[in-house]
């Protein structure tokens, strides 16, 4: 009898998992269905480059279904809910899709209305986010017209996708205004709820130094309570503690939640609609036949494409084991790997997992890309990644030398003590 | 005697009592714990024992019955940390 694997979300995780599973199973034995609300797929790391004119919106977007192998059914629909007890996904109009295995890959959504005033008068004229395509494109126009004044880049609260992206935005803004010859007219501030530039202490120190070097003001432990804005005049971020950060242009990374249907599906999600998931096996706590991947989960790893990619290998193996009635034992170690664009054609690279924070050295071995150091090579790596994303990662091919497990060859363990790993157990 | 770490968070939440809570609050500048303070403190302990970590401010705002704005009025030095200290539970885990 044919069994059904249903995958909710055809973004990074949904697509690569569908393709990997399709290659493993004969299509007479296992039917694979992907459900997504959109018919296009956005290469989200490209959103960082759109505001600065370094990428055009149509260069980072492709038809969603074309990224799926043959013999994968695609349904375009906004998911209504999952009935965990009946192994059924409910779509608008009451259409039901039955599954033997369900994979939740619907990512994170932007909770714009959870921050007072964010979408107020100045929204899309001097208050923007670059976390979606419309915002990134609007910000490009606003930056082009910007002649000087105060820019604030603000993270409202964690967790967010790609936690380094707002820092990269600051570095690129410094480069952008330098190129235009008006850097001395622009004051750049980074306001974060964290007590340092980043979550992981060693990387936070390195990134903090870079902010100082580039003359970017760092405001820490800032919890945005509301945003006051007008259509054309200055505005301000107002912290819950009463502090204010004035701006002429605000670039805000809004609060993130899981998809709304998760909240409508009894037993599936947590208070923020993320799906409680075993951090090693990627099986959810909701039901043994429900798995989850990527930004949709609550695992204590960054919400990043690299995490999603490494999780994909483990998830595929465990779904196969589950359908064959074998015990799950593939384990994900929290491996993440990010290029951090630092402007002027350079980038940093960090590599870490649940237990080990980013450190210096080279990746993936002693001869390789420099870790935690600015280099031109890393910048090229970041640029080349888009091509690998469409042609290697989404189709589900393995990258030579780089597997799901974090490599330790080529890394320098710092002599200072780094027992911060308990900090990572994020379950929000 | 209770065991606390260098930031003042309890290492053994079962050593906590309501009297100790009032003392910690006083040391932190809250002269009197009102019923609303207690609502938050009790909620945090319940969450901690159910889930193994205290809630973040955002989750507190969604689930405790007290808005984030009011949470900052009740615990001006940052609700999640300050209330966790007074509630005698470990520091809520951060995010990445
Ligand atoms: C500005 C920015 C920069 C980034 N830079 C990097 C980077 O440099 N490196 C890196 O590794 N990662 C980066 N990321 C993060 C990376 O893009 C994500 O972590 C990754 O795409 C997560 O994959 P996913 O499959 O979990 O979710 P997604 O790829 O977001 O896919 C989720 C899918 O679910 C669909 N969906 C959601 N809700 C519903 C619903 N109710 N019904 C039907 N379908 C639904 C969506 O349409 C979407 O197609 C960046 C992200 C952003 C926003």
Asked if A362 contacts A332 with a C-beta cutoff of 8 angstroms, the reply is: no
Question: By percentage, how much of chain A surpasses pLDDT 90?
Answer: 80
Asked if A17 contacts A43 with a C-beta cutoff of 8 angstroms, the reply is: no
The answer to whether the CB atoms of A240 and B72 lie below 8 A apart is yes
Give the strand order in the sheet containing A96-98.
A81-83, A88-90, A96-98
Please provide the DSSP assignment of A113-159 as one string: GGSBTTTSTTBTTTEE-SSSHHHHHHHHHHHHH--SEEEEEEE-SS-
State the average pLDDT over residues A29-36. 98
Asked if A289 contacts A100 with a C-beta cutoff of 8 angstroms, the reply is: yes
Question: How many Å apart are CA A29 and CA A178, to the nearest integer?
Answer: 59
Check if A237 contacts B (Cβ < 8 Å): no
List residues of B with catalytic annotation.
95
Superfamily of domain B13-87: DsrC protein, C-terminal domain (1.10.10.370)
State the average pLDDT over residues A140-155. 98
Which of B52, B64, B96 to probe the A interface (max A CBs under 10 A)?
B96
The answer to whether the CB atoms of B94 and A194 lie below 8 A apart is yes
Nearest CA in chain B to A201: B96
- Surface-to-core class of residue A412, CB atoms within 10 Å of its CB (0-12 exposed, 13-18 middle, 19+ buried): exposed
pLDDT digits (tens, 9 = 90+) for B25-78: 999 899 999 999 999 999 999 999 988 888 888 999 999 999 999 999 999 888
Residues β-bridged to residue A238: A226, A244
User: Helices A201-213 and A165-179 sit at what angle, rounded to 10 degrees?
Assistant: 20
Residues β-bridged to residue A250: A127, A152
Task: Report pLDDT for B94.
Answer: 55
The answer to whether the CB atoms of A425 and B62 lie below 8 A apart is no
Q: Buried (b) or exposed (e) across A163-197, using 16+ Cβ within 10 A?
A: bbbbbbbbbbbbbbbeeeeebeebbbbbbbbbebb
Separation in Å, CA of A58 to nearest CA in chain B:
31
Separation in Å, CA of B83 to nearest CA in chain A:
15
CB of A308 sitting under 6 A from ligand 1: yes
Task: Report pLDDT for B3.
Answer: 83
pLDDT at residue A421 is higher than 70: no
Which of A326, A258, A265, A344 is CA-nearest to residue A88? A265
| Ligand 1 centroid from CA A7, angstroms | 14
The answer to whether the CB atoms of B96 and A163 lie below 8 A apart is yes
| Ligand 1 centroid from CA A13, angstroms | 8
pLDDT digits (tens, 9 = 90+) for A163-172: 999 999 999 9
Sequence-ordered strand ranges (E) for chain B: none
Mean per-residue pLDDT of chain A: 92
Structural Rg of chain A based on CA atoms: 21
Task: Find the CB nearest A271 among B52, B63, B95.
Answer: B63
Task: Find the CB nearest A225 among B69, B95, B96.
Answer: B69
Which residue, chain included where needed, has tokens 């080529």? A410
Which of A129, A123, A14, A122 is CA-nearest to residue A72? A14
Q: Calculate the alpha carbon distances from A405 to A259, A321, A355, A357, A402 in Å.
A: 29, 19, 12, 14, 8
**Inter-chain contacts counted by CB atoms under 8 A, chains A and B:** 61
The answer to whether the CB atoms of A158 and B96 lie below 8 A apart is yes
Check if A419 contacts B (Cβ < 8 Å): no
| Ligand 1 atom nearest A9 alpha carbon | 34
Asked if A255 contacts A229 with a C-beta cutoff of 8 angstroms, the reply is: no
Question: How many Å apart are CA A17 and CA A75, to the nearest integer?
Answer: 16
Residue nearest atom 31 in ligand 1 by C-alpha distance: A11
Which pairs count as long-range contacts for B60-64, CB under 8 Å and 24+ apart, including other chains?
A: B62/A271, B62/A272, B63/A271, B64/B39, B64/B40
pLDDT at residue A403 is higher than 80: no
Question: How many Å apart are CA A51 and CA A48, to the nearest integer?
Answer: 7
pLDDT at residue A417 is higher than 90: no
Which residue, chain included where needed, has tokens 């530039």? A197
The answer to whether the CB atoms of B69 and A424 lie below 8 A apart is no
Tokens found for residue A34: 């992907």
Task: Provide the pLDDT confidence category of residue A414 given band limits of 50, 70 and 90.
Answer: low
pLDDT at residue A6 is higher than 90: yes
Check if A428 contacts B (Cβ < 8 Å): yes
pLDDT at residue B82 is higher than 80: yes
Q: What angle do CA A344, A221, B89 make, to 5 degrees?
A: 135
Asked if A187 contacts A285 with a C-beta cutoff of 8 angstroms, the reply is: no
| Ligand 1 atom nearest A307 alpha carbon | 11
What is the set of domains in chain A, with CATH numbers?
3-110+257-323 (3.50.50.60), 118-256 (3.50.50.60), 336-427 (no CATH)
| Ligand 1 centroid from CA A296, angstroms | 9
Question: How many Å apart are CA A365 and CA A358, to the nearest integer?
Answer: 15
| Ligand 1 centroid from CA A231, angstroms | 30
CA A200 to chain centre: 17
Nearest CA in chain A to B80: A223
Task: Provide the pLDDT confidence category of residue A364 given band limits of 50, 70 and 90.
Answer: confident
Separation in Å, CA of A256 to nearest CA in chain B:
11
User: Helices B79-87 and B18-27 sit at what angle, rounded to 10 degrees?
Assistant: 140
Task: Find the CB nearest B96 among A225, A271, A300.
Answer: A300
| Ligand 1 centroid from CA A180, angstroms | 32
Check if A159 contacts B (Cβ < 8 Å): yes
Taking the alpha carbons at both ends of chain A, their separation in whole angstroms is: 40
A239-248, A293-302, A332-341, A397-406, range with the lowest pLDDT: A397-406
Question: How many Å apart are CA A106 and CA A303, to the nearest integer?
Answer: 12
Separation in Å, CA of B63 to nearest CA in chain A:
8
Taking the alpha carbons at both ends of chain B, their separation in whole angstroms is: 34
The answer to whether the CB atoms of B96 and A200 lie below 8 A apart is yes
Asked if A143 contacts A51 with a C-beta cutoff of 8 angstroms, the reply is: yes
Question: How many Å apart are CA A242 and CA A81, to the nearest integer?
Answer: 40
State the average pLDDT over residues A363-380. 84
Sign of CA dihedral A205, A209, A210, A216: positive
- Annotated domain spans of chain B: 13-87
Q: Is the overall model pTM greater than 0.95, yes or no?
A: no
């Amino acid at each position: 009898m044919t069994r059904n694997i249903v995958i909710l979300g055809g973004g990074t995780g949904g697509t690569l998992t569908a393709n990997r599973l399709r290659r493993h199973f004969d299509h007479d034995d296992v039917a694979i269905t992907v459900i997504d609300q959109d018919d296009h797929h956005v290469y989200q790391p490209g959103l960082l480059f759109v505001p600065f004119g370094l990428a055009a919106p149509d260069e980072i977007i492709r038809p969603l279904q074309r990224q799926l192998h043959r013999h994968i059914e695609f349904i375009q629909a906004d998911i209504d809910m999952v009935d965990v007890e009946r192994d059924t996904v409910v779509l608008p109009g009451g259409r039901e899709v039955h599954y033997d295995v369900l994979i939740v890959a619907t990512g994170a959504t932007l909770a714009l209305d959870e921050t007072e005033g964010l979408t107020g008068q100045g929204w899309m004229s001097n208050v923007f986010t670059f976390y979606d395509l419309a915002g990134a494109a609007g910000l490009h126009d606003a930056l082009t017209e910007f002649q000087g004044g105060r820019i604030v880049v603000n993270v409202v609260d964690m967790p967010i996708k790609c936690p380094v992206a707002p820092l990269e935005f600051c570095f690129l803004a410094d480069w952008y205004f330098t190129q235009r010859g008006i850097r001395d007219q622009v004051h750049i501030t980074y306001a974060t709820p964290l007590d340092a530039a980043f979550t992981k202490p060693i990387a936070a120190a390195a990134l903090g130094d870079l902010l100082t070097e580039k003359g970017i003001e760092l405001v820490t432990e800032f919890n945005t309570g509301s945003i006051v804005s007008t259509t054309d005049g200055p505005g301000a971020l107002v912290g819950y503690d009463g502090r204010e950060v004035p701006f002429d242009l605000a670039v805000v990374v809004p609060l993130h939640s899981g998809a709304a249907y998760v909240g409508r599906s009894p037993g599936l999600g947590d208070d923020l609609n993320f799906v409680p998931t075993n951090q090693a096996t990627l099986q959810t706590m909701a039901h043994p036949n429900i798995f989850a991947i990527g930004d949709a989960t609550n695992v204590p790893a960054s919400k990043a494409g690299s995490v999603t990619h490494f999780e994909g290998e483990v998830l595929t193996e465990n779904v196969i084991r589950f359908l064959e009635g074998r015990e799950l034992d593939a384990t994900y170690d929290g491996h993440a790997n990010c290029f951090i664009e630092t402007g002027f054609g350079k980038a940093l690279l960090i590599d870490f997992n649940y237990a080990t924070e980013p450190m210096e050295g080279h990746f993936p071995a002693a001869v390789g890309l420099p870790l935690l150091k600015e280099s031109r090579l890393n910048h090229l790596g970041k640029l080349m990644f888009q091509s690998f994303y469409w042609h290697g990662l989404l189709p589900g091919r393995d990258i030579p030398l780089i597997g799901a497990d974090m490599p330790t060859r080529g890394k320098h363990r710092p002599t200072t003590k780094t027992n911060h790993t308990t900090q990572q157990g994020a379950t929000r | 005697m209770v065991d606390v770490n260098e930031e003042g968070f309890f290492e053994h939440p079962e050593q906590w009592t309501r009297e100790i809570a009032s003392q910690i609050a006083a040391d932190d500048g809250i002269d009197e714990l009102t019923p609303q303070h207690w609502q938050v403190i009790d909620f945090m302990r319940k969450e901690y024992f159910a889930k193994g970590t205290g809630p973040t401010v955002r989750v507190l705002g969604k689930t405790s019955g007290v808005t984030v704005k009011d949470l900052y009025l009740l615990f001006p030095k940052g609700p999640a940390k300050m209330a966790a200290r007074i509630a005698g539970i470990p520091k809520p885990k951060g995010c990445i």
